[in-house]
């Protein structure tokens, strides 16, 4: 093939120049082919990234945004499964749900409390979260009452859904009560976390009809 191209080109530019031109052309063609082959092999061998739901929940956007009308804050420490401390010293109590106690004075560590606290720490420690207010500003202990978001994940709901917390809400802070109750029904049906049977007895599921007679979870440490 090289000989044919060289002879054809010789009649126009001479044999010496023709040989040089054909040589350069073949070199360029070889480099292009080698580059294309290398890219093809790389694409075929590159593994497809598998992102688990837990990773999505625990990994907020690199540039967090307040997309639910709340304010952004950095979590500096986790008190327990439903309480955190944010930069500036404020303590935030998750509303609409309650996790088993681990740090309440004069009360023993409750079943599944350590697991709930560890999960909350995994989700928010050192991360920027969005804090959404409902109606009440603070509880009787002076803690901020908030829904806590990472991206589009409502952590109050997530902890209930995975069996780390149960619904415990009190008017007027009932914005997401339907979502929380639906999450709890699924957790109970699937026997997740505290509903697996190892934490019997568990307090009854909170229903909308019980809301007005249910003690506020925001009044307990």
Task: State the chain's maximal CA–CA distance in angstroms.
Answer: 103
CA–CA gap between residue 155 and residue 120 (Å, rounded):
9
Q: Show the 3-state SS of 92-140.
A: EEECCEECCCCCCCCCCCCCCHHHHHHHHHHHHCCCEEEEECCCCCECC
Q: Could you tell me what percentage of the chain is helix, strand and coil, using 3-state DSSP and rounding each to the nearest 5? A: 40, 20, 40
- Give the three-class secondary structure for 195: helix
Query: Any catalytic annotation for residue 101?
Result: yes
Distance CA 136, CA 154 (A): 18
Please indicate whether residue 138 is annotated as part of the active site: no
Which of the following is catalytic: 101, 115, 157, 162? Answer: 101
Annotated active-site residue in 115, 132, 143, 157: 143
143 is catalytic: yes
206 and 168 Cβ atoms separated by less than 8 Å: yes
Q: Using N-to-C axis directions, what is the helix angle for 15-45 and 2-13, rounded to 10°?
A: 140
- Give the number of residues written for the chain: 221
**92 contacts 103 by C-beta, under 8 angstroms:** no
Per annotation, catalytic residue among 93, 146, 157, 162: 93
Residues designated catalytic: 93, 101, 143
């Amino acid at each position: 093939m090289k000989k044919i191209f060289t002879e054809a080109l010789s009649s126009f530019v001479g044999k010496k120049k023709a040989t040089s031109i054909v040589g350069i052309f073949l070199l360029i063609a070889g480099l292009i082919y080698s580059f294309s082959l290398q890219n093809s092999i790389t694409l075929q061998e590159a593994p497809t990234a598998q992102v688990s739901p837990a990773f999505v929940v625990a990994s907020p956007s690199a540039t967090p945004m307040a997309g639910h009308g709340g304010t952004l804050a950095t979590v500096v420490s986790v008190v327990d499964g439903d309480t955190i401390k944010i930069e500036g010293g404020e303590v935030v109590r998750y509303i609409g749900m309650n996790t088993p106690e681990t740090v309440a004075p004069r009360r023993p560590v409750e079943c599944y409390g350590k697991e709930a606290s560890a999960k909350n720490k995994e989700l928010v420690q050192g991360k920027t979260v969005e804090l959404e207010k409902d109606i009440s500003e603070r509880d009787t202990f002076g803690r901020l009452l908030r829904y806590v978001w990472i991206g589009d994940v409502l952590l109050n709901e997530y902890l209930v859904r995975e069996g780390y917390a149960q619904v415990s809400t009190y008017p007027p802070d009932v914005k997401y009560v339907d979502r929380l109750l639906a999450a709890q029904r699924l957790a109970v049906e699937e026997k997740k976390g505290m509903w697996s049977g190892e934490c019997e007895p568990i307090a009854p599921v909170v229903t909308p009809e019980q809301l007005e007679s249910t003690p506020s979870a925001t009044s307990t440490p």
